[in-house]
Structure 1
Amino acid sequence: MLDYSHNAILVVASLGVALMAGFTGLYLTHGANRLDSQRRKFVVALAAVILGGGIWSMHFVAMLGLQLPILFYYDALVTLISALVAILMVGLALLLLHFRRRTMQTIVGAGVIVGMGIVVMHYVGMAGMQLCRPVYSIWDVAISTVASVVLSVLAIWVAYDNRTQRNILLGTVCFGVAVFTMHFVATGLTDFVVSDVPSGAGPELNNQVLAMGVTVSVFLICSAFLLTGITFIGPSQEAEPAGDSEPAHEPELSVLRAGVPFEREGQTFFAEPYRIAAIRAEGHYTILYMDSEKLFCPWSITEAETRLLSDGFLRAHRSYLVNPKHVSCFERHKDNGTCYFDGVEALTKVPVSRSRLADIRSALGL
């Protein structure tokens, strides 16, 4: 058995890579369910590459910091396969989250897939080592798998149970810790022995070449992190709506801070958009349906649709806007549909017109 140690700087750097990739991938998909199917697929694919590439990059940054008393290299084909496995498995998890109804079972299933993806990527990547063979038992793999799956389920649950900025940040921490913990738990349970006979199927990949490849990968992750981070801390803190949009004007920014206006007993109050289940046109004004109340709002239905698009509200009918987060049941008819609401005493259902059916079903994950 060979003695080994780790370079502390690269250990810390590997955690940083995992956190940056986690934030970028999780925030990139924020608001993806409001996009049309093609754009949503593109966003999911891009997020899968970033998250899966982040898992791979974190692993090999840490492996570059692995200090053994012998020289060793990697099989290039196996190393490439390890990256593709991570991307594909994370992509499968994101497809479940963004193209299926998001229930607790879906969230847990996606977390399990991500956790297994981390494990498979790690052990496939380790199998690519040449002139030095990793040795571990089935119990070592089981312990690493449990750690990875539990932490990954926690990360996906935190990030997707409620898609707020706070949840995305906490999910980022959980994701980074999941990847980092799995790697070093598995490595700590692994012994290394000298292997005189190379068993690689592809060309050799020494640490110098690997370092250049990992550097490029980390550079791309850092760039994506910076670009995504600017939108996170900028004035507009929600995902952009589908299609081209005009720059935000100052009155809209003040509405985002104040909420949706409604009148009660001669006074104007402001409601948080997430509390509103639906909005109905009433001439040149609108009625808000919130909890057990019907409230008068000075906005027109068109103004409400424009201002609340970034909060997830969708036009279900020419006279109605709905908040998909409050829809408890959806019924499909021949060429239209109906959204049902629980806990909203003043409103039980809203009709969905044929032209709006596809958007509503997409927002509901159907």
Structure 2
Amino acid sequence: MDWLGLQLFTELPDAGRTLIDCRHEPLLIVIAFAVATAGCFATLDMAERQSNSEHRTAQRQWRMLGACCLAGGIWAMHFISMLAFQAPIEMHYDVTLTGLSLVIALLAAWLAMTSLDRTQMRLHHYLQSALLIGLGIVLMHFVGMAALQTGAQQYYKTSLLLASTAIALLTSLAALLLARYFRNGSGTLHQAMKYGASLLMASGIVATHFTAMAGMTLVLPDTTALNLPSTDNSLQLGLTVALITLLISASSISAALSDKKLQSKEEDLRRYGVLLNQLDQARASLQQAAHYDALTNLVNRRGFNQLFAERMAQQSSDQTRLALMFLDIDHFKRINDSLGHDVGDELLKVIADHIKAATRSQDLVARLGGDEFCVVTSLHNRDEACHLAQRIMQRMKEPIELGGRRMVMTTSIGISIYPDDGQTAEELLKNADLALYQSKGSGRNSLHFFNSSLKNRATLALQLEEELRLALLEERGLCVHYQPIFDLRTGQVAKLEALVRWLHPLHGLIGPDKFIGIAEANGMIIDLDLWVLRHACQDLARLHQHGYAGLKITANCSAVTLGHENLPNEVEMALLEAGLAPGRLELEVTENALMGDIQQTVKLLKRIRNYGVGLSIDDFGTGYSSLAYLKRLPLDVLKIDRSFLQDVPAILKDRQIIQAIIAMAHTLHLEVVCEGVETVEQYEFLAENGCDYLQGYLLSRPVPMSELRPMLDQLERQAPAFTPCCDIALQGSPDLFADTLGYRAGASTARRGR
């Protein structure tokens, strides 16, 4: 095919002379590559400025400049490479075709820059643009080659012609992708990557040209005379074109850098303005956040302290009083645990609205954190505070529809009065908190005013906490008492329950119901339970040495201790140190302690039971009483709480309950212990109904180790015809110390040892 004098897709003729002594000037090739690289780098800069310009006019200007840089780089590389071509024949260039090739290069470059202006580029956009640009480059090359006038005909090898076209297409696609990628970014790495991209694009353009040149063969017809080349000025012409092109590229890059710096400064100014506005908003937001709760929009703790101080200063001048009410939502934690914190937050919003609705507009309502609220109101007498608190409690009982559930919440309230109960916000809050603690200890959903006895109790509780920690650390003052458990089948004492006591230097012998709650609340209960366990095992070992080899020991295990992962190892160590067989020990756990993480509890209890230690469920019937859980637990003994036995045999229902528990336990292959046995009638009833063991004052009170052996000898002499110990009478006297700590009481009846 003859096109513009070029022989495309045509075989070499049989006639004619083939010019084989053709070569390229290396220096001009290097210059051509440098010109292409500079043009590509300038084009990437222009594409970046085009995409970052905000005005359409500026975008068009950068697009035009970028097209000139790209077209100039491609065309100059092509022209200089043609100048580098040397053949043993005279060569000159057709001006018209040379100019046409430049126009084609400009059109292809303009098309490339226009493609980059799209907001979104999909795959077919890239392919379509790459096809047009690549074909434009190929067309520019062959039009330029057609401008080469030598008198010889140019024949092109089809495979290299197609390869050149493919390289042009791939180079165009790569150029579009790279220019698109480098539109945004900054930093040294970004700049280095841009240099690499420029080299890659220039390599593709150079490869397109020289692949086509490699496929060209010059054939001089036989009828044409061979004209040798005259003066060669290709180097000077190539340097001139390169210099002009490089100046254009350098000027464009300089303009892009200047514009980038100017735009950066403008952006900095805008950012500073935005930052100032944001700082103003942040200052206002911080002021709001510093004094108001984000969830309920009530005053928070900081705002409350400030406003309350102002209220107190105002009330001091008016000689009137203030009431500070500390509110805590009853069992709120269960809402978060069961329905999630999102529902809990929504509930807090509703509760805040209820409290606001129950108070007056001049009252101060604050959320101090979690589910704790505070109300401050002016008053003339305490009855006004009481009425307001009752109004809040009544409003709180209104049903709340939330999370697909209908809930009724209650609140406990503690009240302190200014100036009677304190002169500062901190003191009044602390005293209101003590009153709140009394409300929660009284069954919740109630209100209490602060009084001096609450402070005395709190002081005494803190003192006992410190002294108990020291007593446990130094093992000073703590001791273990033992209460026998009687086997109704043999008439013998079969077990001893270990019960901790505290011989206080000031208050004398203190029962566990006075200090177990303190130990549980302050993280000492695990150490206390393990201390009792070790001492009980050692005491039982001594009893075995004195002939009481058939006895077992039972030790209590709190809910916290039951969650201690190292409990099985501690039990094993206590038995090894005392030299006892595992079957001699029985652990008592309360029913409520078992109902926590049931899977973990079963796993831990099985480890203990597999070691050979017996397990007993204490206070049965006073907790969850879940038979579904009971059948899964690896238990040996069920212990009936004394509360079921108090009115036996007088009350029919109590008798029926105990009969049902004994029958159920035996069905589950569990032995039954009934504690709190205090009358012969109770003993006879239990014996008639198949109870296995009994424990209580009818048999013996808890005694220290020093009195245990005489008591066991006495009980052994009375067996098998059991008669109550006549010299052991029920004793009970008012305990001032117990009254002082009554609000902290809450230990199990098993620990009280009746």
TM above 0.5, one fold?
Answer: yes
Query: Is residue 2:217 matched to residue 1:180?
Result: no
Match of 1:225 in 2: 249
Match of 2:197 in 1: 171
Query: What one-letter code is carried by the residue in structure 2 that aligns with 1:159?
Result: A
The structure 2 residue matched to 1:18, chosen from 36, 46, 51, is: 36
Summarize the Cα distance change of 1:224–1:196 in structure 2 as closer, same or farther, 3 Å threshold.
farther
Provide the rounded CA distance (Å) in 1 between the counterparts of 2:152 and 2:282: 71
The structure 2 residue matched to 1:157, chosen from 177, 195, 202, is: 177
Provide the rounded CA distance (Å) in 2 between the counterparts of 1:197 and 1:239: 64
Match of 2:591 in 1: none
Secondary structure, aligned partner of 1:98:
coil
Query: Is residue 2:291 matched to residue 1:284?
Result: no
1:119, distance to aligned residue in structure 2 (A): 1.1
Query: Is residue 2:47 matched to residue 1:29?
Result: yes
Gaps of 5+ in 2: 1-17, 225-229, 284-754
Q: 1:64–1:207: 8 Å Cα contact kept in structure 2? A: no
Secondary structure, aligned partner of 2:117:
helix
Q: 1:132–1:195: 8 Å Cα contact kept in structure 2? A: yes
Secondary structure, aligned partner of 2:93:
strand
Provide the rounded CA distance (Å) in 2 between the counterparts of 1:87 and 1:138: 27
What TM-score, normalized by structure 1, do the two folds share?
0.59
Provide the rounded CA distance (Å) in 2 between the counterparts of 1:215 and 1:223: 12
Deviations, residues 58-82 of structure 1 (Å, cap 9, x unaligned): 0111111111011111211111101
**Pairwise mapping of residues 309-320 of structure 1 onto structure 2 (< 5 A)?**
none
The structure 2 residue matched to 1:194, chosen from 192, 205, 220, is: 220
1:209, distance to aligned residue in structure 2 (A): 8.2
Provide the rounded CA distance (Å) in 1 between the counterparts of 2:198 and 2:282: 39
Provide the rounded CA distance (Å) in 2 between the counterparts of 1:230 and 1:103: 32
1:146, distance to aligned residue in structure 2 (A): 0.6
What TM-score, normalized by structure 2, do the two folds share?
0.30
The structure 2 residue matched to 1:135, chosen from 155, 162, 166, is: 155
Query: Is residue 2:25 matched to residue 1:7?
Result: yes
**Pairwise mapping of residues 26-65 of structure 1 onto structure 2 (< 5 A)?**
26-33=44-51, 34-65=53-84
1:197, distance to aligned residue in structure 2 (A): 9.4
Provide the rounded CA distance (Å) in 2 between the counterparts of 1:124 and 1:190: 14
Q: 2:105–2:137: 8 Å Cα contact kept in structure 1? A: yes
Provide the rounded CA distance (Å) in 2 between the counterparts of 1:280 and 1:160: 34
Q: Which structure would you say has the larger RCO, counting Cα contacts within 8 Å and 6 or more residues apart?
A: 1
Query: What one-letter code is carried by the residue in structure 1 that aligns with 2:164?
Result: S
Length, aligned pairs only: 251
Provide the rounded CA distance (Å) in 2 between the counterparts of 1:152 and 1:197: 42
Query: What one-letter code is carried by the residue in structure 2 that aligns with 1:13?
Result: I
Q: 1:14–1:61: 8 Å Cα contact kept in structure 2? A: yes
1:192, distance to aligned residue in structure 2 (A): 1.1
**Pairwise mapping of residues 236-255 of structure 1 onto structure 2 (< 5 A)?**
238=260, 240-241=262-263, 248=265
1:101, distance to aligned residue in structure 2 (A): 2.9
Provide the rounded CA distance (Å) in 2 between the counterparts of 1:281 and 1:196: 85
Q: 1:111–1:157: 8 Å Cα contact kept in structure 2? A: no
* Percent of residue pairs bearing the same amino acid type: 23
Summarize the Cα distance change of 1:85–1:230 in structure 2 as closer, same or farther, 3 Å threshold.
closer
Summarize the Cα distance change of 1:196–1:55 in structure 2 as closer, same or farther, 3 Å threshold.
farther
Q: 1:15–1:58: 8 Å Cα contact kept in structure 2? A: yes
Secondary structure, aligned partner of 1:71:
coil
Summarize the Cα distance change of 1:109–1:81 in structure 2 as closer, same or farther, 3 Å threshold.
same
Provide the rounded CA distance (Å) in 1 between the counterparts of 2:158 and 2:37: 29
Query: What one-letter code is carried by the residue in structure 2 that aligns with 1:188?
Result: A
Q: Bigger CA drift: 107-116 or 65-74?
A: 107-116
Deviations, residues 154-197 of structure 1 (Å, cap 9, x unaligned): 23212312423445323312220111101111111111122699
Provide the rounded CA distance (Å) in 1 between the counterparts of 2:206 and 2:198: 12
Q: 2:29–2:80: 8 Å Cα contact kept in structure 1? A: yes
Query: What one-letter code is carried by the residue in structure 2 that aligns with 1:47?
Result: G
**Alpha carbon RMSD of aligned pairs, Å?**
3.7
Provide the rounded CA distance (Å) in 1 between the counterparts of 2:178 and 2:65: 21
Q: Bigger CA drift: 21-30 or 180-189?
A: 21-30
Query: What one-letter code is carried by the residue in structure 1 that aligns with 2:243?
Result: F
Q: 1:108–1:157: 8 Å Cα contact kept in structure 2? A: no
Secondary structure, aligned partner of 1:102:
coil
Extract structure 1 runs of 4+ deviating beyond 4 A. Answer: 195-198, 206-216, 228-232, 236-240, 278-283
Q: 2:98–2:143: 8 Å Cα contact kept in structure 1? A: yes
Summarize the Cα distance change of 1:280–1:105 in structure 2 as closer, same or farther, 3 Å threshold.
farther
Match of 2:99 in 1: 80
Provide the rounded CA distance (Å) in 1 between the counterparts of 2:250 and 2:215: 35
